[in-house]
A and B are shown apart, each in its own frame.
Chain A
Amino acid sequence: MSKGVLVDLTKCVGCGSCTVACKLYNDTKWDEKQPTVGPNVKLSDKNWTVVKFHEVKDKEGRPVWRFVKQQCFHCKEPACASACFAKAFQKTKEGPVIYYPHLCVGCRYCMVACPFNVPKYEWEKPFPLVTKCMMCSNKVAKGEAPACVSVCPAGVFKYGDREELLKEAKAIIAKDPKYVKHIFGEQEVGGTEWIYISDIPFEQLGFKTNVTKRPLPSYTAAYMHATPYVGIAWGVVLTGLYHYTKRRNQIAKENNKNIKA
């Protein structure tokens, strides 16, 4: 059973402790030009997680702030891992999708393939690598919560067994009418380990809600399975045609000679 995190967006106060914990644990550099907390923040090679401020209207039409922590969702069937032709991205059985830099060729197909545009590139470096949140996989493997989760003072996160968390999320939104009836990450791209609940519709908070519910790797799996067979069959057909048309031409030539003679 894989581990996951349930994020309750109604509880977040936007302090950004999680983003600091992330930088400390993963030793990513602080960049003044790219803050991790605020209305215009973006994930980057240095910011594996950010808290974005959204000014929205609540159900009564009053302006309210909501704070959305962004990081890799850790898909159950990740497009990046299926897209990587060198196995630099791999899904662990505990849940995190992790990156092996020594295997990376730097083709960036993972970045194009990710439905949420999570992997980022070290564009400024001469030999850039892809970066993204790895859910503190070393901690998770030991049964500990990721760094960001463990420091939250507002109780936004719950770390645990993903299926248990999903049940819990369903119970919460069924009991409390303030929540929208949607758990982001339950079905999106076949499900993600990080799941979100909110009192504001997700599309107003920058979530990409119009994604497919089918796991993305399934779009190419059939194609890849068929490829070797198509290749072999095509080779047999071509060899057959080669000999057939060669022989046919020979016979045609001989016939011509006979007619002339």
Chain B
Amino acid sequence: MASHAQAQKWSFRITPIRVLLLLLSAVATAIIIYRLVTGLGTVTNLNDEWPWGLWIGFDVLCGVALAGGGYGTALIVHVLHRDYFHPIARSAMLTSLIGYLLVMAGLFLDIGQWFNFWRPFVSWGHSSVLFEVFWCVSCYTTVQILEFGEIATERVGKRFHNIFKAALPVLMIVGIIFPTLHQSSLGALYLLMVDKLYPLWWSPIIFLFFLMSSFFVGPAMICVETTLAGKAYDHWIPIPVLRKLIRISGYAMIVYLVLKIFDLANRGVFNLVFSGTFEANMFLIEMIFGIIIPIFICFSNFSASRSGLFTFGLLVSLGVVLNRMNVVITGMIRSTGVSYVPSLAEFTVSAGLVAMGVLAYCFIVENFRILEHEEHHGHAA
């Protein structure tokens, strides 16, 4: 196997879709450079009423949540030693790594004094939840790069492979602590917005909701990703493995739903759910399509099919995206008084970052052992 890998050349197939993605990445890169030189006002529709917009909402909050599959998988496979799920481990953690690198990029281009990004490393605003997010996300991205080192050194810098392999258990454990902390902290950022964020989303335990949703969206993203990768590379993860995996999500989502209802009732705002307002309807869409229907799919026979798994994955992932966008935008409209529609440039950059992620994923999958990792597991199942 090793000699085979050595003989293999670096490859990157060019297909029409990839040309499109490359083009999108190039346009986004041009806008990013223009933005970094000219400022935020010229490129974005952000203003004093809307200091945070699409880039924080989608690139950062959604990006981190959707990359939650990495720490969940690390927990299940490498700490709890559920070897049954081994076939998905590498691709899930790769998606997570790419996700975090994109989040870092998104954050970097959203901050006004981008050359000053390192400041919180020396000037400790330790009362700020964002301080914790900053440190945890930075450390976790580093940990993930080191974790990827174990895969990379199978091919490049082989003499370091054993060091990485030996460090892996420690990296895995550290690499679970950090995301647990900052996934919840991203929600805790909004604890301060008690008078601004609409009560359907603001909650004294919003951090718990963020943490739980980042956990159950992991297997959902894995379903989406393995379906797409399966089509592209004709490499299919056995259905029972995925089905068992989304059961974990299913149970977490039931707890989430119960906790959400309890929290709304406890704060006396449950009646807002059916008040017919814009916020209420967005909340209902989020809960029905992102939580309730997927729970039914998860525990029905539909999830025994590829299309069922894909539908589940797509609904839950989009549900979490909608939840984060609702917190950042929908839930803030009423207190802000004016609405916000992202500019074309903001959309292009967000889409371009996703395109870069997809291209990076394809390149790595085609050049490192991600999908074909420990094939005997796949055959045995």
Contact = CB atoms under 8 A, between A and B. Distances in A.
A113 B192 contact: yes
Contact of A234 (B39, B126, B177): B177
A87 B124 contact: yes
A245 B38 contact: no
Interface stretch (A125-133, A146-154, A179-187): A125-133
A56 B129 CA distance: 41
A115 B196 contact: yes
A246 B195 contact: no
B31 interface: no
Contacts of B47: 123
A126 B38 contact: yes
Contacts of B304: none
B113 A105 contact: yes
B372 interface: no
Given A107-B111, A241-B79, A219 B191 contact: yes
Task: Determine the main DSSP class of B at the interface with A.
Answer: helix
B111 A245 contact: no
A128 B119 contact: no
A102 B123 CA distance: 11
Given A87-B124, A105-B111, A121-B51, A238 B194 contact: no
A206 B75 CA distance: 51
A57 interface: no
Interface stretch (B19-27, B62-70, B130-138, B286-294): B130-138
Contact of A105 (B49, B81, B116, B172): B116
B127 to A, nearest CB: 5
A230 B136 CA distance: 14
Nearest to B42: A124
Interface in A76-103: 79, 81-88, 102-103
A238 B170 CA distance: 10
A105 B119 contact: yes
Contacts of A44: 48
Interface string A140-159: 00000000000000000000
B176 interface: yes
B129 A224 contact: yes
A238 B79 contact: yes
A195 to B, nearest CB: 19
B81 A246 contact: yes
Interface string B206-228: 01000000000000000000000
A106 B113 contact: yes
Given A128-B112, A211-B195, A245-B81, A108 B52 contact: yes
Give the most central of A123, A216, A217, A239: most B CB within 10 Å.
A123
Interface string B54-80: 000000000000000000000100111
Interface in B233-274: none
A212 B195 contact: yes
A123 B46 contact: yes
Contacts of B174: 235
A130 B238 CA distance: 53
B125 A85 contact: yes
B131 to A, nearest CB: 4
A72 B38 CA distance: 29
Contacts, number: 169
B188 A125 contact: no
Interface size class of A (residues with CB under 8 A): 35 or more
B3 to A, nearest CB: 30
B131 A85 contact: yes
A208 interface: yes
Contact of A128 (B37, B39, B131): B39
A106 to B, nearest CB: 3
Contacts of A227: 132, 181, 185
A231 B192 contact: no
A169 to B, nearest CB: 23
A217 B127 contact: yes
B29 interface: no
Contacts of B37: 126
Contacts of B81: 242, 245-246, 248-249
A171 interface: no
Contacts of A249: 81, 83
B79 A127 contact: no
Interface of A: 42-44, 79, 81-88, 102-109, 111-113, 115, 117, 120-129, 208, 210-212, 216-217, 219-221, 223-224, 227, 230-231, 234-235, 238-239, 241-242, 245-246, 248-249
Q: Which 3 A-B pairs have the closest CB atoms?
A: A106-B112, A123-B41, A85-B131
27 contacts: A82-B127, A83-B192, A85-B125, A86-B119, A104-B119, A107-B112, A109-B189, A117-B48, A122-B112, A123-B47, A123-B48, A124-B39, A127-B112, A127-B113, A128-B41, A217-B192, A219-B191, A219-B204, A220-B129, A220-B192, A221-B127, A234-B176, A235-B173, A235-B177, A238-B177, A239-B173, A242-B172
Given A231-B180, A242-B169, A245-B81, 6 more contacts: A104-B113, A106-B113, A117-B48, A126-B39, A220-B128, A220-B129
